[in-house]
């Protein structure tokens, strides 16, 4: 079987209308998988309960900072071509882009932000909470790092930050730069509520996090060897730390006494709500494939599944749109899973050892009661409720990519680079030199992967009734999926050099519009 070209990791949405005016405004959701290593912002109570995801999408959200009034969260997005700063309105869910930079923190009145700006050399900068009036502080001599997380003092115009030469404080206008200690080479800083002490990533042999007085007197106080990126609680009695090793938040007292661990599979930069009851952190899904769905207007993404080391692949909507069947690869095991869209619950239907069929999309029966799939070269059917699967074929020839035929009784599949039809135990050749395919809902059309020559890249072909097939989209690959009204298909479209691929929607006239650039696999249209 031919493998589609490797796909770029950059994720973007392109909605520029084509010359033929392909309409995208009212398309139903399309589900697919992507290996985008994105993160979300998660809000959780300090007692470990009440976890909720504050941002869902294709952004890689990190370094969150709560506004003083508790209504907004500023955060960093890692993207191409640059690192950007956004603000999330917790009341409306709206996310606003402020400009390029990283690791923001709020002024005490909530009117300005301090952050790291990137130019010839990284520098500390400030701007209005609207993104206007950006100002560099000119502290590059402190060797500001990309991992530097500056902190605005709760009282007064001072800003603390850890550069490559230690912990510094500086006035908000860039004057009065002073080094408090030579310990620390980039990282986070956090002021005590009264502004008298600063907790920071010191990285000494004795401690990972230390505390120093705001004037640098009386030396360092070692806090803990566990965790980093400290965040002082508004009440002053706790310091929250991120633990990469344990993928958790650690709470300690300012003297280093351990209080508790929040083993919530969270990571990086915790920040307290102004009332001291909640923490906001960034949560990474890891680098594996996850399931996503586009919105009704195709201008946003919503992640449907989560995980850290699993790969969620080859998804298929049920006929009523209530469930999604998909394959989950975990180490050397392959699971056939069922996702309930209404509840978000994922249930195992089947577990086997991983083989090539784990990357292939299963198919639903027309009544939505059973699921057809390939495993180890043969075809199987299992009930949506689970139980023992039923073997449909037992052949020496490897059979792949099965699909229920429009009559609801026959099964189409791929074997030896050809599409076959199985009915009542008999096999009939449908298309030669073809691979993954899909019938239209009314059964009048068949879209499939084909080749101009044995060595050429795949293209999408269309056969209508008994007419000869015609090439519909050059450099297209499958498996294709039909829109509910059978007038469009969604597939993967490569550029002529086969360097990048995009999720694309095409009509029967051969006009295609990319809607999602980057790493996507196995799109399927919601009924």
DSSP codes joined into one string, 92-154:
T--EEEEEE-EEEEE-TTSSEEEEEE-SSS-EEEEEETTS-S-EE---GGG---TT-B-EE-S
Which residue, among 67, 99, 68, has the nearest Cα to 83 in the 3D structure? 99
Distance of alpha carbon 349 from the chain centroid: 25
51 pLDDT tier (thresholds 50, 70, 90): confident
232 and 165 fall within a common domain:
yes
Give residue 15's pLDDT. 26
Give residue 244's pLDDT. 72
Question: Is the model more confident about 135 or about 25?
Answer: 135
Range from 160-164, 296-300, 369-373, 421-425 carrying the lowest mean pLDDT? 296-300
Residue 284 confidence (pLDDT) above 80: no
Residue 212 lies in a domain: yes
23 pLDDT tier (thresholds 50, 70, 90): very low
Residues facing residue 338 across a β-bridge: 325, 347
Prediction pTM value:
0.68
Give residue 464's pLDDT. 95
DSSP 361: -
User: For the chain, what is the domain count?
Assistant: 2
DSSP 475: T
Give residue 60's pLDDT. 78
156 pLDDT tier (thresholds 50, 70, 90): confident
Give residue 346's pLDDT. 92
298 pLDDT tier (thresholds 50, 70, 90): low
217 pLDDT tier (thresholds 50, 70, 90): confident
314 and 426 fall within a common domain:
yes
Pairing of strands 102-106, 112-117: antiparallel
- CB-CB contact of 282 with 267 (8 Å): yes
**Rounded CA gap, 227 and 142, in Å?**
24
User: Of all residues in the chain, what percent carry a pLDDT higher than 70?
Assistant: 89
**Rounded CA gap, 161 and 124, in Å?**
8
Q: How many residues does the chain have?
A: 527
CATH number of the domain within which 428 lies: 2.120.10.30
Q: Which residues contact 377 (CB under 8 A, 6 or more apart)?
A: 395, 397, 398, 399, 400
Residue 15 lies in a domain: no
Identify the three-state secondary structure at position 356. helix
Give residue 275's pLDDT. 84
The per-residue pLDDT for range 325-384, each reduced to its tens digit, is: 999 988 789 999 999 988 888 999 999 888 888 989 999 999 999 999 999 899 999 999
* Angle, CA 127 vertex, CA 163 and CA 62 arms, to 5°: 60
* Domain hosting residue 78, numbered range: 38-284
Residue 31 lies in a domain: no
Residue 127 lies in a domain: yes
Per the prediction, the chain carries an average pLDDT of 85
- CB-CB contact of 380 with 389 (8 Å): yes
Question: Is the model more confident about 522 or about 138?
Answer: 138
Question: Is the model more confident about 481 or about 500?
Answer: 481
Cis geometry, peptide bond prior to residue 463 (ω within 30 degrees of 0): no
Question: Is the model more confident about 133 or about 46?
Answer: 133
197 and 300 fall within a common domain:
no
Residue 272 confidence (pLDDT) above 80: yes
**Rounded CA gap, 381 and 372, in Å?**
5
The per-residue pLDDT for range 89-132, each reduced to its tens digit, is: 988 888 999 999 999 999 999 999 999 999 889 999 999 999 99
Residue 2 lies in a domain: no
Question: Is the model more confident about 35 or about 462?
Answer: 462
Domain closes at, from 284, 313, 336? 284
Range from 267-276, 288-297, 420-429, 507-516 carrying the lowest mean pLDDT? 288-297
446 and 492 fall within a common domain:
yes
279 and 292 fall within a common domain:
no
Q: What's the mean pLDDT in 506-525?
A: 84
Q: What's the mean pLDDT in 13-39?
A: 53
Domain closes at, from 284, 300, 322? 284
Residue 305 lies in a domain: yes
**Rounded CA gap, 501 and 7, in Å?**
6
Query: Which contacts qualify for 210-215: CB closer than 8 Å, 24 or more apart?
Result: 210/183, 211/254, 212/167, 212/180, 212/181, 214/153, 214/158, 214/169, 214/180, 215/180
273 and 152 fall within a common domain:
yes
Phi, psi (deg, nearest 5) at residue 278: -130, 160
228 and 294 fall within a common domain:
no
63 and 198 fall within a common domain:
yes
63 and 98 fall within a common domain:
yes
371 and 430 fall within a common domain:
yes
Neighbours of 204 (CB within 10 A): 14
Task: Kindly tell me the sign of the dihedral angle through the C-alpha atoms of 139, 142, 143, 144.
Answer: negative
291 and 280 fall within a common domain:
no
Q: What's the mean pLDDT in 236-240?
A: 92
Query: Is residue 113 classed exposed, middle or buried when 0-12, 13-18 and 19+ CB atoms within 10 A define those classes?
Result: buried
The per-residue pLDDT for range 416-466, each reduced to its tens digit, is: 999 999 999 899 999 999 999 999 999 999 999 998 887 788 999 999 998
223 and 336 fall within a common domain:
no
Residue 23 lies in a domain: no
Domain closes at, from 284, 308, 341? 284
């Amino acid at each position: 079987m031919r493998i589609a070209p490797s796909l770029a990791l950059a994720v973007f949405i392109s909605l520029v209308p084509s010359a033929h005016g392909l309409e995208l405004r009212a398309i139903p959701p399309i589900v697919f998988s992507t290996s985008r290593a994105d993160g979300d912002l998660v809000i959780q109570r300090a007692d470990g309960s009440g976890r909720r995801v504050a941002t869902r999408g294709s952004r890689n959200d990190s370094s969150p900072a709560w506004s003083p009034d508790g209504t907004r969260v500023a955060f960093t997005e890692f993207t191409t071509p640059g690192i950007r700063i956004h603000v999330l309105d917790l009341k409306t869910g709206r996310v606003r882009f402020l400009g390029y930079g990283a690791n923001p923190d709020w002024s005490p009145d909530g009117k300005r932000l301090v952050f790291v700006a990137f130019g010839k050399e990284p520098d500390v900068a400030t701007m209005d909470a609207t993104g206007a009036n950006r100002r560099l502080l000119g502290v590059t001599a402190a060797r500001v790092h990309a991992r530097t997380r500056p902190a605005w003092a709760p009282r007064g115009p001072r800003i603390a930050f850890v550069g490559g030469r230690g912990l510094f404080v500086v006035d908000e206008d860039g004057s009065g730069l002073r080094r408090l200690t030579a310990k620390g080479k980039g990282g986070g800083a956090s002021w005590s509520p009264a502004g008298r002490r600063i907790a920071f990533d010191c990285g000494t042999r004795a401690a990972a996090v230390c505390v120093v007085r705001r004037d640098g007197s009386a030396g360092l106080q070692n806090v803990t060897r566990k965790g980093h990126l400290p965040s002082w609680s508004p009440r002053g009695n706790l310091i929250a730390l991120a633990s990469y090793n344990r993928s958790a938040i650690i709470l300690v007292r300012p003297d280093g006494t351990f209080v508790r661990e929040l083993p919530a599979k969270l990571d990086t930069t915790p920040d307290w709500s102004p009332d001291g009851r909640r923490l906001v952190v960034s949560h990474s899904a890891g680098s594996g494939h996850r399931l996503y769905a586009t919105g009704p207007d195709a201008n946003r993404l919503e992640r449907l599944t989560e995980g850290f080391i699993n790969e969620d692949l080859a998804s298929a909507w049920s006929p009523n749109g209530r469930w999604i069947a998909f394959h989950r690869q975990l180490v050397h095991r392959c699971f056939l899973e069922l996702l309930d869209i209404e509840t978000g619950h994922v249930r195992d239907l089947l577990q086997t050892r991983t083989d090539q069929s784990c990357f292939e999309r299963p198919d639903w029966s027309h009544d939505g009661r059973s699921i057809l799939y390939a495993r180890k070269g043969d075809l199987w059917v299992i009930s949506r409720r689970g139980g023992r699967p039923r073997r449909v074929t037992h052949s020496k020839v490897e059979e792949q990519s099965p699909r229920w035929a429009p009559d609801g009784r026959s099964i189409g599949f791929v074997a030896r680079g050809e599409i076959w039809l199985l009915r009542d135990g008999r096999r009939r050749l449908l298309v030669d030199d073809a691979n993954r395919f899909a019938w239209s809902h009314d059964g009048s059309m068949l879209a499939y992967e084909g080749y101009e020559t044995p060595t050429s890249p795949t293209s999408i072909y269309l056969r209508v009734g008994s007419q000869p097939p015609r090439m519909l989209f050059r450099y297209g690959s499958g498996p294709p999926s039909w829109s509910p009204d059978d007038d469009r298909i969604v597939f993967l479209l490569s550029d002529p050099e086969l360097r990048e691929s995009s999720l694309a929607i095409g009509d029967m006239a051969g006009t295609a519009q990319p809607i999602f650039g980057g790493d996507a696999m196995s799109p399927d249209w919601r009924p």
